[in-house]
Chains A and B, each alone.
Chain A
Amino acid sequence: MNKVIINIENIYKYYGEIKALENISFSIGKGELFGLIGPDGGGKTTLIRILTTLLKPTRGNAQINGLDIVKDFKKLRKQIGYMPGRFSLYEDLTVEENLKFFATIFNTSIKENYYLIEDIYTQIEPFKDRRAGKLSGGMKQKLALSCALIHKPDILFLDEPTTGIDAVSRVELWDMLKKLKKQNLTILVSTPYMDEAKLCDRVAFIQKGKIMEINSPLTIIEEFEEPLYSVKGDDFYHLLLELRKMKITKTAFPFGDSIHLTTNRNIDTHELNDMIEKRIGARTETKKINANIEDCFMAKMINNM
Chain B
Amino acid sequence: MKKDSGNYIVEVENLTKKFGSFIAVDNISFKVKKGEIFGFLGANGAGKTTAMKMLTGLLNPSSGKAIVAGWNVETNPDKVKLNIGYMSQKFSLYDDLRVNENIRLYAGIYGLKRSEIKIKINKLIGELGMENLRKKLVGDLPLGWKQKLAFAISLVHEPPVVFLDEPTSGVDPITRRQFWEMIYKASSEGTTIFVTTHYLDEAEYCTRASIMVDGQIKALDTPENLKNRFEVDNMQEVFVKLARG
Contact = CB atoms under 8 A, between A and B. Distances in A.
A169 interface: yes
Given A39-B143, A237-B188, A257-B223, A294 B43 contact: no
Interface residues of A, number: 33
A168 B43 contact: yes
B135 interface: no
Interface string B194-226: 000011110011000000000000000001100
Interface stretch (B24-32, B101-109, B113-121, B166-174): B166-174
B239 interface: yes
A167 B200 contact: yes
Given A136-B45, A166-B198, A40 B143 contact: yes
Contacts of A133: none
Contact of A256 (B169, B175, B201): B201
Interface of chain B, helix or strand or loop or mixed? helix
B57 interface: no
A209 B176 CA distance: 19
A38 B172 CA distance: 7
A253 B177 contact: yes
Contacts of B239: 166-168
22 contacts: A39-B171, A40-B143, A41-B143, A164-B44, A164-B169, A166-B42, A166-B43, A166-B44, A166-B46, A166-B243, A167-B198, A167-B200, A167-B236, A168-B43, A168-B243, A168-B244, A169-B43, A207-B172, A257-B204, A297-B173, A298-B174, A302-B174
Q: List the 8 closest A-B pairs by CB distance, nearest first.
A: A39-B172, A40-B170, A256-B204, A166-B43, A237-B184, A256-B201, A257-B204, A137-B44
Given A240-B181, A254-B181, A301-B174, 17 more contacts: A39-B170, A39-B171, A39-B172, A163-B169, A164-B198, A165-B44, A166-B198, A207-B172, A236-B205, A237-B188, A254-B205, A256-B235, A257-B224, A297-B173, A298-B173, A301-B172, A301-B173
Interface of A: 38-42, 136-138, 163-169, 171, 192-194, 207, 236-237, 240, 253-257, 294, 297-298, 301-302
